[in-house]
């Protein structure tokens, strides 16, 4: 009888258990497709399963109760959903996984000089890939940066089309441009060097807004743009990108890479030609300067034990650029009969990095560049030659699980010579040429303390000794607080400095249109900055939304200002007897859906001005030129998957900005609100091959009256029928003088 009772108990246990348990049955989707083989589990338990190829799953014998159901799949954000299980019933759920936020795994180096994940960086860094810039193809990175919110490629000369990069309204001389962390594009090359960096060699572009002088030294006052080149070990075996426009612009980017057991190399070339003399506004001047340039870049990487770094790269760049009167010929170069601005630029660079074969992490980086420029601005001939050598040794070490220390020393030597009074000593017959030599050694330290998974503090200090100006100290402090993975706050404070060489940085100082006047001995500029940044990730039912907001404030002392207004024929330089301020807010949004639509928008509101002592205790507020109070960017991409077609709509909006006008100028002192918009269609052909085409400047916007008195460029008739005393001037510019144009291109990539 006892045995019969035990048999009865064992037979009824499964029934009793099943009566107190239930099932979970569901469907996991990845966007609008099944999340094949997704992992499903109950939080806090070992109960779980795997979805089949159709995304269906079922979990049996789940004890009655309320649970958190976790679902994860490669490439998608893990989802958690509450589910209630009732005894003897089947609970049905449906989950849609959102695409993984790419920034979670992106690695950046610019903010801290060491590799770190983007979302973990205490310093806010914006990252842009070539795919982003391909939505509006351009021949060089200078034009491509128009798509970055708060970054403004500014054309400074309406004749030769030279320009620089403004960040948050501050002039291009305050922006440091790096290639692989090396200060390659600076000083004399800021005017023309950016045009020679083809998109084909770029892996990504990192943008830091705000002073970065603690790590990178002088010039990184407004921020820095670090162009990370492709690694030869991972670059495509062959890549080609060619396009042609209805204005007869031809651009060709071709890259090749090769790998061996112990080394790999990448060769990238760029060729650009524009030879169409266009004069749409009928002022007898070329609207867009003629350009003929060639650039070649070669990079080598060695495979070393323990993955130690060993890279060496070299680049050569040549450009022939001309803008001027339509009848100008090379025989008129430097003459006073037909006005033209003709610039020949020849430049080569060498850069590399080598990790020492020691137990400690010691990285030595170096660069050298030689830049020669031969320019004729009307009858004024300018010949400049600059050599810059740079070396840096960085020691990086983890001090336990939560602290990191970075120590470094750097040395920068600049040699500069030209045919202007800038490199002349003595007067009259005793005058002789004396090239400018600047020695700039420095040391820096940075400490990172991760107090918890949510809070990180980064502190740094740099000391440089300038051979002409003495010691300069640059501290900074950054903090990151992330209460959860979807919310991140960053606060950065820092000090920046800049030592100025007007003749190498300001194109306006080189033109023949105005005389350069330097009132006093110029002192180095100092800036103090605070930046508050907030990032928010919002999962949506059919996608996700990334929000990034920032508030910035920069205070300048000893700011060097260029006065265009006091005298129509002069540019007067002096240290500001007061202070200058750049402040504003910026918002970036990224909206992606599970269906093939992706949107990016950015808006910047800023106020950039100078406060100058006007005498007797009075203060005068002077707005910054070429700094719009409002600017914005946008991109919208939609993919027709069945057709293999992608549609990209991109553009920028610029609010009114103050311009360099003359006294009683008939032209407005502020530019109008305008927008540059572009449309592109890309067709994916067979694997690795794409055809694309579209239209640039869809609204056909062009500035009015970019030149003053173009009929008298040598100012020979300023006393004739000229009651307001106007003189020829090329500085009144706020947008490219290039209207609507169509383009067609082909892109091919052959992987390794």
pLDDT given at position 193: 58
Q: What angle do CA 339, 716, 375 make, to 5 degrees?
A: 30
Q: Which residues contact 122 (CB under 8 A, 6 or more apart)?
A: 111, 112, 448, 456, 457, 458, 478, 479, 480, 490, 492
Query: For residue range 222-257, what is the model confidence (pLDDT) as tens digits?
Result: 778 888 888 888 888 999 999 999 999 999 999 999
Please count the other Cβ atoms lying within 10 Å of the Cβ belonging to residue 630.
15
pLDDT given at position 654: 95
The residue behind tokens 């300069």 is: 472
Assigned token pair, 271: 């060729």
Q: In CATH, what is the architecture of 13-97?
A: Sandwich (2.60)
512-551 in b/e burial notation, b at 16+ Cβ within 10 A?
bbbebeeeeebebbbbebbbbbbbebeeeeebbebebebe
pLDDT given at position 330: 93
Q: Which residues contact 427 (CB under 8 A, 6 or more apart)?
A: none
Assigned token pair, 578: 């007061």
Strand partners for 436? 416
**Of residues 224, 125, 129, the one with CA closest to residue 177:** 224
CATH code given to domain 104-152+183-750: 2.40.170.20
pLDDT given at position 648: 96
One DSSP character per residue, 615-642 reads: ETTEEEEEEPBT--SEEEEEEEEEEETT
Assigned token pair, 493: 């404070």
pLDDT given at position 285: 94
The residue behind tokens 């400018």 is: 436
pLDDT given at position 432: 80
Check if the beta carbon of residue 207 is closer than 8 Å to that of residue 126.
Answer: yes
What gap in Å lies between CA 106 and CA 264, rounded to an integer?
24
What gap in Å lies between CA 718 and CA 709, rounded to an integer?
9
pLDDT given at position 570: 67
What gap in Å lies between CA 26 and CA 54, rounded to an integer?
11
pLDDT given at position 74: 56
What gap in Å lies between CA 444 and CA 392, rounded to an integer?
11
Q: Where are the beta strands (DSSP E) in 280-379?
A: 290-302, 310-324, 340-355, 361-377
| Pairing state between β 570-575 and 515-518 | parallel
Domain range annotation of the chain: 13-97, 104-152+183-750
3-state secondary structure of 72: strand
Assigned token pair, 232: 């030869």
3-state secondary structure of 330: helix
pLDDT given at position 189: 62
Q: Alpha-carbon torsion 136, 138, 140, 144, what sign?
A: negative
pLDDT given at position 118: 76
Residues (pLDDT < 50) of the chain are 3-18, 102, 504-513
3-state secondary structure of 197: coil
What gap in Å lies between CA 582 and CA 169, rounded to an integer?
7
Element spanning 466, H or E: strand 455-466
pTM score of the predicted model: 0.81
39-45, long-range: CB within 8 Å, 24+ apart, which pairs?
Answer: 39/70, 39/71, 39/72, 39/73, 40/69, 40/70, 40/71, 41/69, 41/70, 42/67, 42/68, 42/69, 42/70, 43/67, 43/68, 43/69, 43/70, 43/80, 44/68
What gap in Å lies between CA 697 and CA 704, rounded to an integer?
16
Check if the beta carbon of residue 579 is closer than 8 Å to that of residue 557.
Answer: yes
Q: Alpha-carbon torsion 324, 330, 334, 337, what sign?
A: negative
């Amino acid at each position: 009888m006892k045995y019969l009772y035990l048999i009865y108990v064992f037979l009824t246990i499964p029934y009793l258990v099943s009566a107190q348990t239930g099932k979970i049955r569901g469907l996991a989707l990845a966007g609008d497709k099944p999340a094949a083989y997704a992992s499903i589990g109950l939080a806090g338990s070992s109960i779980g399963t795997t979805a089949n190829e159709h995304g269906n799953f079922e979990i049996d014998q789940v004890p009655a109760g309320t649970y958190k159901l976790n679902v994860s799949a490669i490439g998608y954000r893990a989802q958690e959903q509450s589910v209630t299980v009732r005894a003897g019933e089947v609970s049905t759920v449906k989950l849609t996984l959102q695409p993984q936020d790419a920034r979670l795994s992106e690695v950046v180096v610019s903010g801290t000089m060491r590799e770190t994940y983007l979302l973990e960086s205490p310093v806010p860094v914006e990252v842009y890939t070539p795919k982003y810039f391909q939505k509006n193809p351009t021949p060089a990175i200078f034009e491509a940066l128009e798509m970055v919110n708060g970054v403004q490629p500014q054309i400074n000369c309406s004749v030769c089309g030279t320009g620089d990069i403004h960040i948050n309204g501050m002039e291009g001389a305050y922006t440091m441009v790096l290639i692989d962390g090396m200060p390659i594009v600076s000083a004399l090359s800021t005017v023309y060097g950016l045009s020679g960096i083809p998109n084909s060699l770029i892996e990504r572009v990192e943008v830091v807004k705000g002073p970065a002088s603690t790590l990178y030294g002088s010039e990184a006052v407004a921020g820095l743009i670090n162009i990370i080149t492709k690694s030869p070990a991972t670059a495509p075996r062959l890549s080609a990108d060619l396009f042609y426009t209805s204005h007869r612009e031809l651009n060709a980017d071709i890259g090749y890479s090769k790998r061996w057991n112990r080394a790999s190399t990448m060769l990238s070339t760029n060729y650009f030609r524009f030879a169409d003399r266009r004069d749409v506004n009928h002022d007898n001047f070329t609207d867009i300067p003629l350009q003929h340039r060639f650039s070649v870049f070669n990079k080598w990487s060695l495979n070393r034990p323990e993955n130690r770094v060993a890279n060496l790269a070299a680049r050569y760049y040549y450009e022939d650029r001309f803008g001027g009167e339509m009848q100008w010929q090379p025989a008129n170069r430097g003459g006073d009969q037909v006005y033209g601005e003709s610039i020949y630029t020849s430049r080569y660079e060498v850069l590399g990095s080598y990790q020492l074969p020691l137990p400690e992490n010691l990285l030595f980086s170096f660069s050298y560049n030689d830049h020669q420029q031969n320019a004729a601005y009307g009858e004024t001939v300018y010949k400049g030659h600059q050599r810059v050598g740079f070396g840096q040794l960085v020691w990086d070490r983890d001090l336990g699980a939560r602290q990191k220390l970075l120590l470094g020393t750097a040395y920068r030597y600049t040699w500069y010579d030209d045919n202007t009074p800038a490199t002349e000593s003595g007067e009259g017959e005793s005058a002789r040429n004396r090239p400018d030599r600047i020695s700039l050694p420095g040391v820096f330290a940075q400490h990172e303390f991760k107090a918890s998974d949510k809070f990180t503090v980064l502190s740094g200090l740099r000391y440089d000794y300038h051979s002409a100006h003495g010691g300069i100290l640059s501290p900074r402090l950054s903090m990151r607080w992330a209460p959860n993975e979807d919310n991140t706050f960053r606060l950065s404070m820092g000090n920046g400095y800049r030592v100025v060489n007007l003749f190498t940085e300001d194109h306006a100082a080189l033109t023949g249109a105005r005389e350069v006047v330097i009132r006093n001995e110029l002192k180095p500029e100092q800036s103090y900055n605070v930046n508050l940044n907030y990032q928010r990730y919002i999962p949506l039912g059919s996608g996700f939304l990334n929000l990034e907001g920032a508030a910035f404030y920069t205070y300048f002392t000893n700011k060097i200002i260029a006065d265009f207004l006091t005298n129509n024929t002069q540019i007067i330089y002096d240290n500001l007897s007061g202070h200058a301020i750049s402040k504003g807010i910026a918002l970036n949004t990224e909206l992606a859906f599970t269906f093939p639509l992706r949107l990016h928008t950015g808006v910047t509101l800023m106020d950039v001005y100078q406060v100058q002592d006007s005498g007797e205790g009075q203060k005068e507020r002077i707005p910054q030129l070429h700094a719009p109070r409002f600017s914005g960017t946008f991109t919208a991409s939609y993919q027709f998957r069945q057709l293999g077609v992608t549609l990209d709509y991109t553009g920028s909006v610029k609010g009114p900005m103050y311009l360099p006008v003359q006294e009683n100028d008939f032209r407005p002192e502020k530019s109008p609100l305008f927008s540059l918009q572009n449309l592109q269609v890309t067709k994916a052909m067979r694997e690795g091959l794409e055809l694309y085409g579209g239209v640039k400047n869809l609204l056909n916007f062009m500035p009015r009256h970019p030149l003053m008195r173009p009929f008298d460029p040598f100012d020979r008739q300023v006393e004739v029928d000229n009651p307001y005393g106007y003189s020829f001037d090329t500085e009144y510019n706020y947008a490219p003088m290039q209207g609507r144009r169509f383009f067609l291109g082909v892109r091919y990539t052959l992987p390794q």
